[in-house]
Structures are given as structure tokens and as C-alpha cells.
Amino acid sequence: MTRRDDGKRDHAATTDVATREASSAEARDRTDASSSASDFALLRRLGPFMRPQALLYIVSLVAAPLSALVVITQPYLLKLTIDGHITKGDIGGTERLALLYLGAVIAAWLLESAYQLSLSYAATRTIASLRAQIYAHTIGLARGFFDRHPKGQLLTRATSDIEALGETLTAGAVTIILDVIKGTGILVAMFLLDWRLTLVMLLVSPIVFLVVNGIRRILRKLFAIVRTSLAALNAFTAERLNGIEVVQLYSDEARALREYRKRLDEYRRATVQTNIWDSMVYAVIDGLTSVTMALMLWYGTGSAFGGVITAGLLAAFIDYVAKLFQPIQEFSGKLALIQRASSALEKIFGLLDTDERVRSGDDALTEPRGVLRLRDVHFAYGDGPDVLRGVELDLNPGEVVAVVGRTGSGKTTLGRLLTCAYDDYRGSIELDGHELSALRVDHVRRTIGTVEQDVRLFPGSVRFNLSLGREVDDERLTAVVEMSRATETIERLGGLDGEIEHAGQNLSVGEAQLLSIARTMAHDAPIVIFDEATANVDSLTEQKIQEATDTVLQQKTVLVIAHRLSTIINATRIAVMDAGRVVECGTHDELMGRGGAYARLFQDQFDADSPSSWASSKTASSPLALRNSK
């Protein structure tokens, strides 16, 4: 059996749940977008991330107005050339002004280059800092957050949303400062040269303002829809690719493709509408630029101004109008970037504002012994009903306590509470005399190791997957590999430096479990939880895993969450859970003698399996609890 077989029995259900979660997340995103803060307020929240690059931002802000000032002088130099020399036939006198004009062009280029380079470098560093903050914040969130949010949606926050913000910082929000300075300077220069022609130009300004402001509002709404539809598309894609085996096994490709196209169409429609409105700004401003120039030519060359408008002045004004309307035209593109970034920022800061971390106490656990006491423990997922109801349980070093029960009885939830996946339980959970909620989370997780049914392996070396980047010497790793009966597997992969493929595709389910056991042994946690660790392996592989676990359990506190009752018949104690309660507790023989819930579970599995397999299982005894039979 390969890793591809792992989890098929319930993946279809989880995929449907993920789809519903994506839909609800999409609805939440739409609500968030409709109640968004102002662009300025959102950009202001970037302050802490921009502050370390303050010097570079200052350089760009100083270079920007200087560049604008030099650009503004160019039309005036053109006026002087035409009126002072060309119209008088003095071509030779244009050389000095031509050199000045060339110098102004070069100076403007140098200043704008300094502005763009410093801004680009500062923005890149700012985005890197924000990206790191998003990752650090996300991996610290509680398990419940990930239960409610599709992975694809979170991936969108850390990738495309960040990219949209990066584009805005380098080519959008901050560059508008240059445009504003340049536009203000041009208007002042035009008024100083001739206020009458300036008023002619300003006749079209209200139209420009109304068009740009109206489209800005429309683009903001459209970009919110674009970001939301993209997040939903990414979430759906990630979920279906994660469950591709189930999709193919049930010949569900056609329906999955229809669902994908449905979400893709929503994203496409929103994107097309955005591009249409964005293009309208260019067309409108192009038209208004032409109208403005025509009006100035009409008034400037006619009798309205008493014939005092010179050719040089008219040429300068036409150049000024072109320079004024060019940033206004480009502003539509920058406006699109800003609206995209505003929508992205709302979602990014919405994620960063999420306060769903597991609360960590201050108490340290310097010498953990592995004593657990659970008293009247209750727990519910969110606002739902309690899934644990008054659980009472004791675990001591050297004991193997098995927890059994039908699906939905609360077994796995109990294990997750002990590893601080959730922290909003009621009642008391004590670890070595300390309330679990009062202990530092990292100390608790170092004290409790887990071998789960669904083993998580990362692409990389065997060494990394065993040590998870911590300092563990090769001698220790080699020893735990041997004790976990994983030597043959490691040698096949090429030793500790051998590579494990994505999701452990080059390992069987049993081999992955052996590596998981080796990882637990490498970290030497005093408490070990086996969460249905052998549920998906064959009996031969199960026996090998049991031999490995017999070594790791010496003098440790062991909690076994069991599906196959044959694996825990020699446990120190067996706790039977039903509807979130421990309804029975005792040894296998004691519970069988009572003829209660455990006996019925045992009989149900006995009827489902062959008697011979039970007999061999009883004879071989499960090393998950075999210390007690030695």
C-alpha cells in the first residue's frame, strides 16, 4: 500500500466540507469588503513595515519634487526658444537654450532614476517584511482557525494579495506624490505665464475630476470582487488537487471541471469589468486632452485675447497640457493598482487582526515526568454542542492508556486538547501538577509527542524530517531509525541524506508510520500519543510498527487512540468513550467481563473480522501495551 492510499475512506466528505467552507469564507470576504476602511487608513497601517526603510523613502520623496521641478522648466525653455529666437529668425541663438533643454532632460532622468530605484528597493524590503509577518502570524494560529478557512484562501493572502500590494508601492501610491507635485507645479507655471489660457484649460477640470472619482469608486468595488473570487478559485483548486485521487476514483472529473469553470467565470467576469472601466479612463482623458488643446488653439489664435498670445506661449501651454494630462491618464492605471491593493490590504490586515492563537501560559516545565490528570473536561467546537462532556482520566509514566469508542465519540478531540491544538476547554487538565493552560505552549508540545494516522512528511532529506531542523546528531538519528525498524526504508532512500518526495509519495503508508515513530523517538517526549496510528496499514506492517513502538514506550506515558481493538487488549487501562463521556474504564479482561459498551464494541469487530486474525493478534500481543505482559 502506498501513501496515495492514505485517507481515501473519508476524503470525499472532507472535500465537500471544504467547498462549503470556501463558500462561507467568500461570503465573509464580501462583507469585509463592503465595510472597508479608507485607502489612507490602510496605507497608514503599513507604517511599521515601512519605517525600517525610512531613509530610502526619504530619498525617493526628495528626488520626486526635484525631478518634477526640472520637468516643469522644459516647456518654459521651449517658449523662450520660439519667442526669443525662432520667430525672430535668430536660429544661431538657440544653441544655448538647446543645451539648457538637454541638461534639463538629463537632470530629470537622473533624478527620476534615483527616485524609482530607491522606491523600488524600499518597497521590496517592506513587502518582504510584511510577507514574513503574515507567515509568522498564520503558523501561530489555533487549529480551529484552519478548520474554518480553506488553505487556498490563506495561500492567496500570502501570494497574490502581497504581490498586488508590492505593485502599488512601486508603481502606484507613492508615485502619485510625484504626479501631484508635478501637476501643482505645472498649474502654478501656467498661471504665471498666462492666467487666461489657464482658465480655458481649467474648464474641463471638473469633468476630469468627476470621471476619475466616479470610476475610482466603481473600481474599488470591482477589485474587492476580483480578490474574493480569486480566493474562492484558489481554495477550490487546492482542495480538488489535494483530493485528486478521490476525484479520479469516482470519475468525478467532469463535475469538478464544471465547478471549476463556474468559479473561473466569476473571476473572469469581474476581471473583464475591471479592465473595461480602467480602459474608459484612458479614452475619456485622451478625448479631454484633445478638447483642451483645441480650445486653447481657438482662443489663443483668435481675437478673444486681443492677439497677445505668442506662438511660444501657445507651444508652452500645449506642452504643459500634455505633461499635465499624462499623469492624470496614468493615474487611472495607478488608481487600479491602488484599488487592487486596498482590497488586498483589507484581507491581509483582516488575517493579521485575527486573534485566534492558542493562549500560552507563563509556567515552565523544566523536568517533565509525564503525569496527566483530566477532571470534568468539557469542550465544544465554536458555538456547537459539547463533544467532550465531563471526561475524567489519569495517565502515569510507564502506563499505556487506550481510548476507544465509535466514530464521533470524542477520541481524537481529546488528543488534540492535550497537544494544545485548542485551548478553550472547561474543567481541569493537569500536566505534572500544572494546569495545561498555565504552561508555555512550546513546553507542552515538547513534552507530548504524537504519531498520527495521517503522517505529515515534508519534501527534503530524511534527516530534516526526523529532526525538523533541530540539533539532533547523526548518532542519535541512526539509533532511533534502528529502534523504529526503519533501517531498511532509510537505506532504500539513500541514508539520512536521502530525499523524501512531496507528501511522501516514495514511501508506503507503513514506511511513513515507521518514520513518524522514529521522529517521535528522536525528540524523546515523555508522553506519546498514538492517534489510530495503524488504522490504514496491513497486518504485517502493523506487526512491524508494533515491534518498533514497544521500544519507544519504555518508561513513557502512552495514550493510544485506537480503532482496532486488537491492538490494545494488553493496555494498562482501556477508557471507553461514548458521546463525549468516558463510560467505562478498566483492563480488557475486566471490561469483557462486565459485558458493557467495550464488550459490544469488541464483539462487533470480532464479527466483522475473521476469528483467526483475532487469535493471532491475541497470541502475538500488541506491543502498544506489551510492557505489561513481559
The dihedral sign for the CA sequence 614, 618, 623, 624: positive
- Specify the higher pLDDT residue, 252 or 586: 586
Q: What is the pLDDT of residues 71-119, one digit of tens each?
A: 888 888 888 888 877 777 667 667 888 888 899 999 989 998 898 888 8
Burial of 605 (C-beta count, 10 Å sphere; 0-12/13-18/19+): middle
- What pLDDT does 18 receive? 39
Cβ-based neighbour number of residue 175 at 10 Å: 22
Cβ-based neighbour number of residue 196 at 10 Å: 15
**Residues 314, 412 within the same domain:** no
**Residues 405, 330 within the same domain:** no
**Residues 397, 542 within the same domain:** yes
C-alpha 66 chain-centroid distance: 40
Place of cell 504552561: 439
- Specify the higher pLDDT residue, 279 or 575: 575
**Residues 320, 411 within the same domain:** no
The answer to whether 460 and 503 are in contact (CB under 8 A) is: no
Return all residues near 60 (Cβ < 8 A) that are at least 6 apart: 114, 115, 116, 118, 119, 122, 174
- CATH code for position 182: 1.20.1560.10
Question: Cell digits for 287?
Answer: 478625448
- What pLDDT does 38 receive? 58
Please compute the mean of the pLDDT values over residues 519-542 and round it to a whole number: 76
Please compute the mean of the pLDDT values over residues 498-515 and round it to a whole number: 83
Residue 70 belongs to a domain: yes
Residue type, 197: L
Please compute the mean of the pLDDT values over residues 623-627 and round it to a whole number: 41
d(CA 541, CA 509): 9
pLDDT above 60 for 139:
yes
pLDDT confidence bin for 549, thresholds 50/70/90: low
Cβ-based neighbour number of residue 404 at 10 Å: 27
Which phi-psi region, left, alpha or beta, contains residue 483 (left: φ > 0; alpha: ψ -120 to 50)?
alpha
The dihedral sign for the CA sequence 344, 346, 352, 357: negative
Q: What is the pLDDT of residues 590-619, one digit of tens each?
A: 999 998 888 988 888 776 654 444 444 443
pLDDT confidence bin for 318, thresholds 50/70/90: confident
pLDDT confidence bin for 376, thresholds 50/70/90: very high
pLDDT above 70 for 35:
no
- What pLDDT does 547 receive? 67
- What pLDDT does 624 receive? 45
- Specify the higher pLDDT residue, 275 or 149: 275
The last residue of one of the domains, among 320, 352, 384, is 352
**How many domains does one find in the chain?**
2
Residue 484 belongs to a domain: no
- What pLDDT does 174 receive? 61
The answer to whether 374 and 431 are in contact (CB under 8 A) is: no
Most confident of 143-147, 180-184, 373-377, 473-477: 373-377
Please compute the mean of the pLDDT values over residues 337-351 and round it to a whole number: 79
Residue 483 belongs to a domain: no
d(CA 72, CA 57): 23
Percent of the chain with pLDDT over 90: 10
Lowest mean pLDDT across 96-110, 147-161, 303-317, 344-358:
303-317
**Residues 312, 383 within the same domain:** no
**Residues 347, 387 within the same domain:** no
Residue 179 belongs to a domain: yes
Place of cell 493471532: 616
Strands 448-452 and 434-435: unpaired
pLDDT confidence bin for 552, thresholds 50/70/90: low
Which residue segment(s) compose the domain that 556 sits in?
Answer: 376-454+529-629
**Model's pTM, two decimal places?**
0.65
Of 437, 385, 371, the closest CA to residue 413 belongs to 385
pLDDT above 60 for 500:
yes
